Amino acid sequence: MGSERGDLISTFYVGNCYNFGVGREVNVELAMEWYEKAANAGHGMSCFLVADKCHQEKDFDNAMKWYSKGAELGLDLCFHRLGYMIERGEGCERDLGKAFEWFHKAANCGIPVSMYSLGVCYERGIGCEINEKKSMEWYVKAARKGNQQANAKVTLRCTTGIRGDYDFKLAYELFLLDATVKKTFIEFCSCFDMPISKFYIAQELYYENARNDSYNSLEIIEMLESTQQLYQSQNLLGLIYLEGKIVEQNFDCAFKLIEKAAESKKGKCLFDLAIMYLYGYGCKKDSLEARYRLKQLAIEEYQPAIDLLERSFHSDLLKNRQYSDLIIVMK
């Protein structure tokens, strides 16, 4: 048998069989024996599993021993656990500087919880100088990797202005990445009578709920109409009137709103206005005007305009397209 011959991988897999009950009954003690054999032979994950069991049993000396061996073998999970133990002085003398170094090493390997821990270090000055900018950077990285603690912390900061400026755009991005913070995001935004927060709430409710008839469409319209000083609200409201899913379709109203939003000179708004001219929605159909506007955006390297120019003015693809297809392009 491979495991008896000292084969490293086979030894590890035998441990897994006992640990997870594959082909035999679960036997954690036997699993740990096989993992320890593999760990002694230089298998990094086995080192981590043995160390983790020791850590859970508060056998800190052996946990430190096996995490250290796993770290020597280059296992990034062990980097983080070493930082965790050293920060707390478990199985060693407490050393915040060394803990910070291990968290940094693990974070650079892409471990989300390490990125979060590094953000905490920079926020509180654990083993390093306090640095709010770096703290936020690492929290954002961790949040984008799916760490919920970091996501909640960044969302809180962005929506309340704690230790920085309001950043509802970033909060909204993270909100989309992790549905678990949806309620938190909307609650925080609702606490602030700020137009941009209302816009992001309305946008999410529209694309995720209202188009499936699961939300009060009137409330969405009211939020957007109350924030029409924002080009974002003008543009979205225009698209809503253009699509006609939650309100009666009104091309004239759609054109006026999108034209107003385009005064912001933002690429998305200018692109949508070009589409209006291309199809003659709420205005006289003018392919020359549409092409001119798209070319101006293409010069600015606005990719949707480049793609549409290639497809619409060098083929007949758009001749018979319906609006239901177009909304996908305009979103």
Q: Which of 269, 279, 280, 251 is nearest to 305 (CA)?
A: 269
Long-range contacts of 226-232 (CB under 8 A, 24+ apart): 226/195, 226/198, 227/195, 227/196, 227/198, 227/199, 227/202, 229/195, 230/195, 230/196, 230/199, 231/260, 231/261, 231/263, 231/264, 231/266, 231/269, 232/196, 232/199, 232/203, 232/261
Quick one: pLDDT at residue 323?
A: 39
Is pTM, for the whole model, over 0.85?
A: no
Quick one: pLDDT at residue 209?
A: 60
Quick one: pLDDT at residue 329?
A: 42
Could you say which residues of the chain have pLDDT below 50? 1-5, 162-163, 166, 211, 315-331
Quick one: pLDDT at residue 109?
A: 95
Quick one: pLDDT at residue 5?
A: 43
Q: Which of 260, 252, 271, 261 is nearest to 232 (CA)?
A: 261
Quick one: pLDDT at residue 24?
A: 87
Quick one: pLDDT at residue 22?
A: 87
Q: CATH number of the domain at 1-94, out of 3.40.1160.10, 3.40.50.1820, 3.90.1170.50, 1.25.40.10?
A: 1.25.40.10
Quick one: pLDDT at residue 136?
A: 86
Quick one: pLDDT at residue 196?
A: 66
